[in-house]
RNA sequence: GGGCCUGUAGCUCAAUGGUUAGAGCAGGGCGCUCAUAACGCCUUGGUUGGGGGUUCGAAUCCCUCCGGGCCUACCA
């Protein structure tokens, strides 16, 4: 097989707090699924993610925690890194958008864009809060809606009547941070990225991507063509914490004290993260992944993200890369996801509603979550987490279909032949028939995984597990053992060999369990090419151990407890 | 307001305009006894949100109405 090279990035999670299961299934988890699959197929993979650390919310969260921003971010990065590890997210590097590498690279891109005439200065007025000592983004200002009278209307939009607002329109405006009404419109100068100049180029590029998910292209087209078309975008902010506005390593006259906007520097971190990966001693050459003049021409680059991130990845970031005039690698495929809702509503951090990543790992192993989330990934529309559905899927798919299969095979063998692959007999028509079915299904599974059809992949994998139980029922080694022990030995040898096969195929979904299965069989993972051959990996005499039950069922009591615990404070 | 997505079995979801709309779960029946009372086989269940249209043929394309969701450029 040709060795391909896959660059894979997950949308980088914001530093402000621990993410919920909806965030996880929208980017990091499917990205990990794809990365593990491509590695399993023997391809070269660079899988990158990072924390997105700049912006107003980070500064406010640090202030609330009573810590300097750099310290707060460093701590939260560690927290997120540990949780990611707990979920088995197999990043080659988990970087930080505040890294020195990203500072240099972001300033470099700004210089190139400036040289190419794609940056202009704009003088504008923005709401300034004297009490808070800072400019406030529109949504940090609340007041009474001039249209409907709603008293908690945000400066960008009224949550009650959904009309778009300008903060100056609000009646009795005040800061949501301090409550202060001491606000004024103050003049400030900012840099804008001239995306509008690149509209045609971007549109032609989007149009060429006919295989992208509708969700991705429809959002991109909307931004390209809505109203007056693609608008130039401010890429600087008046904040303390961020990447100082410079042209390369030179000062930018008139922009002292300002930083780049987080949505300018965050995607650049995808590249800087590869440099961090090298500087951390994990890799030798980042350019062969990112520079088409240094070998990245044969790289396939895939991005994973929730739908809210699509405009930045389809338009702003490509504009940055193309506008630089340098040979950077552009994304080849953007896989986007809808949202996961929680039990009839949205996940809510402020109301403590829904399950967050740290809590999930406290109550159940990562594979339980990975399986449910991936097999219900919100691909075609928003999806919904309910505890009943979660309980049913985990108990049926994992415990009954896969876990019990491994249990019944290994325990039967131990009681009749000992913990060693039995000798005798040969495969017949039944085994041939199973090999044919598995071959068909595994090739279909590979097709779905290549296409990043997550739910279809999960469905096919489950059918592959079911085939093992069907075989046992038909072969009935417990019956043949009485008449023809050699035949039973061949049957159980065949069934035992399904275990490492299943482990290899299942590893992208449930890596921890897959490892347990392989360790019990004392084998390494090996992606099956020829299935008949793959089922000869454990010959007669090969020792194994009966593993503990792979999955515990979720009891009704536990489910009800969790349902209560994570319901949050409703209204 | 505008745009996009979505509505299919009790539940979660499939189905390049082409046989009788399919899976899993749940429900019912039978079988098996190796296994975590697990597994296998069979089976009930549909006016594809409503109405109209195009077509030899519509879940699929068009119009309209109803419901759900998302986005709408200063949260990230």
Q: A340 beta carbon < 7 A from strand B?
A: no
- Give the pLDDT band of residue A164 (cuts 50, 70, 90): confident
pLDDT bin (cut points 50, 70, 90) of residue A457 is very high
| Total Cβ atoms within 10 A of residue A255 | 19
Mean pLDDT (whole number) for A33-44: 97
Q: Which nucleotide is nearest to A126 (CA to C1')?
A: B74
Give the residue whose CA sits closest to B7 at C1': A381
Q: Is the CB of A227 under 7 A from strand B?
A: yes
Say how many C-beta atoms besides its own lie within 10 A of residue A358's C-beta. Answer: 14
Higher-pLDDT residue of A565 and A412 is: A412
Please give the protein residue whose CA is closest to the C1' of the nucleotide B23: A459
* Nucleotide with C1' nearest the A376 CA: B12
What is the token pair recorded at A473?
Answer: 């029922």
Whether any strand B atom is under 7 angstroms from the Cβ of A455: the reply reads yes
CA–CA distances in Å: residue A448 to residues A39, A459, A460, A507 = 16, 10, 9, 15
ipTM for the predicted complex:
0.93
CB of A248 within 7 Å of some strand B atom: no
Minimum mean pLDDT range among A13-17, A289-293, A546-550:
A13-17
Which bases of chain B come closer than 7 Å to a protein CB? 1-7, 11-14, 23-26, 31-36, 38-41, 68-76
Residue A364 has pLDDT above 50, yes or no: yes
Residue A23: closest CA among A78, A92, A80, A77: A80
User: Beta carbon of A551 within 7 Å of strand B?
Assistant: yes
| Burial class of A59 by CB neighbour count within 10 A (0 to 12, 13 to 18, 19+) | buried
Q: What is the mean pLDDT of residues A198-208?
A: 91
Residue A112 has pLDDT above 70, yes or no: yes
| pLDDT attached to residue A69 | 96
A96 is near strand B: CB distance < 7 Å? no
Q: Round to a whole number and report the distance in Å from the CA of A380 to the C1' of B58.
A: 22
Is the full-model pTM beyond 0.90? yes
Q: What is the pLDDT of residue A570?
A: 39
- Strand pairing category for A44-51 and A5-10: parallel
Nearest to A10 by CA among A66, A58, A48, A60: A48
Q: Which of residues 7-26 of A touch strand B (CB under 7 A)?
A: 14
Residues 49-68 of chain A with CB under 7 A from strand B are 52, 54-57
Angle between helices A429-450 and A485-506 (to 10 degrees): 0
Average pLDDT over residues A350-368: 91
Strand B within 7 A of A350 CB: no
Average pLDDT value for chain A: 93
**CB A345 under 7 Å to nucleic chain B:** no
Average pLDDT score over residue span A107-129: 94
Span A433-450, mean pLDDT? 94
Q: Is A17 exposed, middle or buried (0-12, 13-18, 19+ CB in 10 A)?
A: middle
String of DSSP letters for A221-242:
HHHHHSTTSSPPEE-EES-SSS
Model confidence pLDDT, tens digit, residues A214-272: 888 888 988 898 878 899 999 999 999 999 999 999 999 999 999 999 999 999 999 99
């Amino acid at each position: 097989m040709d060795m391909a090279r896959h660059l894979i990035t997950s949308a980088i999670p914001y530093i402000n707090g621990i993410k919920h299961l909806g965030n996880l299934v929208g980017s990091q988890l499917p990205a990990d699924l794809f990365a593990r699959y491509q590695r399993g197929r023997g391809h070269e993979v660079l899988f990158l993610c990072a924390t997105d650390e700049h912006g107003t919310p980070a500064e406010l969260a640090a202030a609330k925690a009573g810590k300097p921003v750099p310290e707060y971010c460093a701590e939260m990065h560690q927290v997120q890194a540990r949780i990611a590890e707990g979920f088995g997210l197999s990043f080659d590097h988990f970087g930080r958008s505040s890294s020195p590498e990203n500072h240099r690279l972001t300033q470099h891109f700004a210089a190139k864009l400036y040289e190419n005439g794609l940056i202009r200065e704009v003088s504008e007025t923005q709401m300034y809060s004297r009490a808070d000592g800072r400019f406030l983004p529109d949504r940090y200002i609340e007041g009474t809606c001039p249209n409907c009278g709603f008293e908690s209307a945000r400066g960008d939009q009224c949550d009650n009547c959904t009309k778009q607002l300008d903060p100056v329109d609000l009646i009795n405006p005040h800061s949501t941070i301090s409550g202060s009404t001491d606000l004024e419109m103050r003049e400030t100068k900012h840099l804008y990225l001239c995306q509008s100049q690149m509209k045609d180029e971007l549109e032609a590029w989007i149009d060429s991507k006919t295989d992208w998910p509708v969700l991705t292209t429809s959002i991109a087209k909307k931004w390209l063509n809505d109203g007056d078309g693609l608008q130039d975008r401010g890429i600087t902010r008046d904040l303390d914490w961020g990447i100082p506005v410079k042209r390369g390593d030179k000062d930018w006259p008139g922009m002292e004290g300002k930083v780049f906007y987080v949505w300018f520097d965050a995607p650049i971190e995808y590249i800087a993260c590869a440099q961090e990966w090298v500087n951390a001693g994990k890799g030798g050459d980042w350019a062969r992944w990112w520079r088409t003049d240094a070998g990245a021409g044969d790289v396939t680059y895939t991005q994973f993200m929730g739908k809210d991130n699509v405009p930045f990845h389809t338009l702003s970031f490509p504009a940055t890369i193309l506008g630089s005039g340098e040979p950077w690698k552009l994304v080849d495929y953007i896989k986007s996801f809808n949202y996961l809702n929680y039990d009839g509503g949205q996940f809510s951090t402020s109301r403590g509603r829904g399950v967050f990543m740290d809590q999930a790992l406290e109550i159940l192993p990562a594979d339980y979550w990975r399986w449910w989330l991936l097999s219900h990934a919100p691909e075609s529309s928003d999806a919904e987490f309910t505890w009943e559905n979660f309980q049913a899927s985990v108990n049926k798919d994992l415990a009954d279909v896969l876990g019990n299969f491994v249990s019944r095979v290994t325990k039967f063998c131990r009681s009749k032949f000992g913990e060693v692959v039995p000798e005798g007999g040969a495969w017949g028509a039944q085994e041939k028939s199973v090999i044919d079915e598995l071959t068909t299904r595994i090739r279909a599974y590979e097709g779905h995984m290549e296409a990043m059809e997550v739910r279809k992949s999960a469905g096919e994998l489950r059918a592959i597990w079911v085939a093992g139980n069907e075989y046992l029922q038909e072969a009935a080694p417990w019956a043949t053992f009485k008449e023809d022990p050699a035949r039973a030995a061949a049957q159980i040898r065949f069934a035992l060999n399904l275990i490492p096969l299943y482990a290899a195929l299942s590893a992208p979904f449930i890596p921890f369990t897959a490892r347990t299965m392989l360790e019990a069989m004392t084998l390494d993972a090996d992606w099956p090419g020829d299935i008949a051959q793959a089922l000869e990996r454990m010959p007669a005499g090969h020792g194994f151990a009966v593993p503990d039950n792979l999955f515990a069922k979720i009891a009704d009591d536990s489910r009800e407890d969790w349902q209560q615990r994570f319901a949050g404070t409703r209204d």
